[in-house]
Structure 1
Amino acid sequence: MITTTTQTPVHTDVAIVGAGILGLAHACAFAQRGLRVTVFERSGTPVGASIRNFGMVLVTGQPPGAMHALAQASRKIWLDWAAGAALHVRRSGSLMFARSAAEAQVMEAFAATRAEGAGYDTALLSRAALDDLYDGRFRKHRAALHGRADLQVFSREAVPALIDYLRRRFNADFRFGTLVQNVDDGRIETTAGPWRAEHVVVCAGHDYLSLLAPQLAALAPRVCRLQMLRVRPATPFALDHAVLTGLSCLHYGAFSDLPEAAALHAEVAAREPALLEHGIHLLASPTPGGDLIVGDSHDYGDDPSPFNAQAIDELLLGLAENTLGSTLQVVERWQGVYGARTGTSGAPFSVLRAAPNVTGVYMHSGVGMSIGPALGERVVSHLIDGAALPTA
């Protein structure tokens, strides 16, 4: 005979599912309003997209309008967090280098039209100006776009530091190693027993099956897998900017719809088709220890393949060595991963109201570090203050 026992749910004001950057952003926004916050994370420590990335808070790359505004607001939140949590933040911005005339033309068009008109804080560096940059290391490139508003953090240290800050500053309760099995209105069933909350926010990354599955299925979600490297220059140099190439003009909405981007796409398709085939556009982020995080490629599917291709790593490494002007030693390899969508929707995120007090917030692009802090603040402002939900 099977017997069941009924446990009295533990009460909290707010239950957050997921301790990635979106979960932490919501937790902070709720806690700043004086609410008691409990964060549930199924793993013993964060291991998802929020620590596998470049740590770029890329304001410059976001398309004009709502996404650019979210990135600008997120930048301010990151700086506030840096002051409270003693985060290591690079504030020198990003440098996007033009390897070809076509790449330079996209940057020049952006600087001449969109940059000032849409409020981007950028400066176009001429070929001559590169002679004085890092002792001429980048002088072979045609030009560079300096994204002065961009920040960079070291994600694998920043996320734990934010968790510690929320514990110390707001007495937030973190329940690691605890799987949330169901959310039913205000009741949360977990492997550590039942809880009840006035607000439940699910920020479960690319887990589309455990919670809110029917609502997520309607979005036709997918997963994007990225090959990533941590490398060490043969001759160390003190890089203080995040580095991109003009290939990123094909990836980021601030540039990709400019007429000049079509000519760049045609050039890359003719000369470097493997880069388009694997969705490669170079990003390189310096770490506090002097190494560089290099990537990335893009492979979309229902489940991320566990197998990395050596050929893709070699493409990434070759592109990085050519751009940085240095031989690079690979010291670590891993897979990045984030949620995406199929179909015609280009929406970078979704906010799902599954029940009056259950909300799901999901990223469908790799810009969670860039817009996540402000997205969390605005969702909480909607839930508590009645403000409009954010849209992209």
Structure 2
Amino acid sequence: MSEHDCDLLIVGAGILGLAHAWAGAKRGLKVKVFERSHTPLGASIRNFGQALVSGQAPGIMLDLAREANGLWKTLGQGAGLHMHQQGSLLFARTEVEEALLEAFVNGRGATLGYRTQLLRGEALAALYDGRFAHHRAALLGLDDQQLYSREALTQIVDYLARALGVEFHFSTLVRDVESNCALTSTGRFTARHIVVCSGHDYQTLLAEQIAALKPQVCGLQMLRVRPRQPLALQHALLTGLSCVHYGAFADLPEAQAIRAQIRTNQPELETHGIHLLISPTPHGDLIIGDSHVYGRDISPFNTEQVDRILIDLAQDTLGGEIEVLERWQGVYGARGPGPFSVLAAAPGVTAVLMHTGLGMSVGLALGERTIADLLGEARPHSSAA
């Protein structure tokens, strides 16, 4: 070891910080992780835990999601995570949504090798004893995975500490970073490499460099619910509304018809940025959401109107009533110059920011690539690197 306190110092114990810590520890680096809260409390535990491949835009995000798919399997087995690996179901509720799914499967999906299947008729009716037979079709995303993030992150922390010797400093604020040095609320630490993964906090660290990216924050309304008719759901669920949100579909010509249908029938969906996601928990409950509001800061106040829309959409999708157990506000960094940024902020200091809500889908792979680049490792050619 060098004269530094560690080889790799990570700021932030969300999924992006843990991904970089895992990538470094696997390479034999001495890793320290600093997190200002007593446990991960940010975007990574407030989300759906969906690691999607099928929804990713062609290019770098699809490449990263495919790489992360295998990494999740490895990490899930090592850390003992409860993961749903049966895939996702994206339901077409209308003729125009079905037309888009068909065009995707026969066009981009086939050309770029998305592993999806379009289920109709008997195949659709066979799902969950006919629970979803009222939909027109379903796109099965075979590579999509889902975990319960509010439990999974603490399991990953435990695994990295126990099995790989990663040293965690919770309830410790990093006040400043400079070349190979972090000034914290418990002292000064030095490292060969410092990686800042501080989420949507754009003010505490590297504020001037981050401001140049003009990032925003996205706030989301989320709920945990229980179906009144028990449902042992094993898939992540989406609807055709997601086809105007996710990059795999949003730029297809058929998406315009869905947008027009939304503006005619339910313009409030566009106003509030609503598209339905549903994720199962290991306890028989479901996480549903979400809405999207953007700005430099996000108001802490949720609106009952948005929650009511989400509940109605979920009940229509599930074909039955649900009981609300919890409500909360999700939040993540958004709308930077691309889906993510990797900044060489100072000698020995790198900042990694997500500008979308897709950290669970691509974060493990982004961590691998960033650490490989910092260490000067050669990596295989990527179609969109």
Normalising by the smaller structure, the TM-score range is: over 0.9
Q: 1:5 aligns to what?
A: none
Structure 2 residue 368 is the aligned partner of structure 1 residue 380: no
Q: 1:75 aligns to what?
A: 69
Letter in 2 for 1:367: L
- Contact persistence 2:280–2:286 (CA under 8 A): yes
In structure 2, the residue corresponding to 1:67 is in which secondary structure?
helix
- Measure the CA separation in 2 of the matches of 1:37 and 1:129: 48
Structure 2 residue 83 is the aligned partner of structure 1 residue 93: no
Q: For residues 61-110 of structure 1, give each alpha carbon's deviation from its aligned partner in whole angstroms, at most 9, with x where no partner exists.
A: 00112211100111111100111110001011000000100111110100
- Measure the CA separation in 1 of the matches of 2:97 and 2:290: 18
Which deviates the most, 294-303 or 119-128?
A: 119-128
Letter in 2 for 1:208: Y
Deviation of 1:170 after TM superposition, in Å, equals 1.1
Runs of 4+ in 1 over 3 A off after TM superposition: 386-392
Deviation of 1:221 after TM superposition, in Å, equals 1.1
Structure 2 residue 344 is the aligned partner of structure 1 residue 353: yes
- Contact persistence 2:280–2:287 (CA under 8 A): yes
- Measure the CA separation in 1 of the matches of 2:103 and 2:355: 28
- In structure 1, stretches of 5+ residues that fail to align are 1-8
Deviation of 1:10 after TM superposition, in Å, equals 7.1
What is the aligned counterpart of 2:231 among 233, 237, 244?
Answer: 237
- Contact persistence 2:49–2:279 (CA under 8 A): yes
In structure 2, the residue corresponding to 1:61 is in which secondary structure?
coil
Q: 1:370 aligns to what?
A: 361
- Measure the CA separation in 1 of the matches of 2:49 and 2:233: 15
- Contact persistence 1:219–1:341 (CA under 8 A): no
- Measure the CA separation in 1 of the matches of 2:319 and 2:231: 11
* TM-score for both structures, normalised by structure 1: 0.95
Q: 1:4 aligns to what?
A: none
Q: 1:254 aligns to what?
A: 248
Structure 2 residue 266 is the aligned partner of structure 1 residue 263: no
- Measure the CA separation in 1 of the matches of 2:172 and 2:131: 49
- Measure the CA separation in 1 of the matches of 2:252 and 2:307: 30
Deviation of 1:348 after TM superposition, in Å, equals 0.8
Q: 1:27 aligns to what?
A: 21
In structure 2, the residue corresponding to 1:297 is in which secondary structure?
coil
Q: 1:160 aligns to what?
A: 154
Q: 1:228 aligns to what?
A: 222
- Contact persistence 1:10–1:194 (CA under 8 A): no
- Measure the CA separation in 2 of the matches of 1:142 and 1:55: 26
What is the aligned counterpart of 1:17 among 8, 11, 26?
Answer: 11
- Measure the CA separation in 1 of the matches of 2:375 and 2:12: 20
- Measure the CA separation in 1 of the matches of 2:142 and 2:48: 17
Letter in 1 for 2:300: P
Alignment of 1:123-202 (within 5 A): 123-202=117-196
What is the aligned counterpart of 1:36 among 24, 30, 39?
Answer: 30
Deviation of 1:387 after TM superposition, in Å, equals 4.3
- Contact persistence 1:21–1:159 (CA under 8 A): yes
In structure 2, the residue corresponding to 1:197 is in which secondary structure?
strand
Q: How many residues align?
A: 381
